[in-house]
Amino acid sequence: MRLGIGSRWQSDVSKVGGARQDVDLLSHAFAAYRITDTATLRLNVNNLFDKKYIFGLAYGAIYVAPRNAALTLEFKL
């Protein structure tokens, strides 16, 4: 079993007359389990704390996707 967590910190951003995002921390996590020598099951969870978070302001306020997860099964031949 392998576990991991990652975070991305961003300072405050704002656009004159537009949106503003305070300093924030966005976190992700994963768990992987090696079933056999050739098969691994992995779960990735993005936006772990389900924050409403502005990623960029270049073309208006671009929000990060809400919490989401992906389950994958990898086979090696």
Instruction: Please report the pLDDT score of residue 1 as a whole number.
Output: 94
Among the listed residues 63, 66, 64, the one whose alpha carbon sits nearest the alpha carbon of residue 19: 63
Q: Could you state, in chain order, the average pLDDT of each consecutive group of 10 residues for the chain (77 residues)? A: 92 74 85 97 95 74 88 96
CA gap 44, 71 in Å, rounded: 7
Instruction: Please report the pLDDT score of residue 24 as a whole number.
Output: 78
Instruction: Please report the pLDDT score of residue 46 as a whole number.
Output: 94
Q: What is the pTM of this model?
A: 0.76
How many residues appear in the chain? Answer: 77
Instruction: Please report the pLDDT score of residue 23 as a whole number.
Output: 75
| Helix intervals (H) in the chain | none
Among the listed residues 62, 65, 66, 64, the one whose alpha carbon sits nearest the alpha carbon of residue 15: 62
Every domain of the chain and the residues it spans: 2-75
The neighbour count for residue 30, using CB atoms within 10 Å, is 16
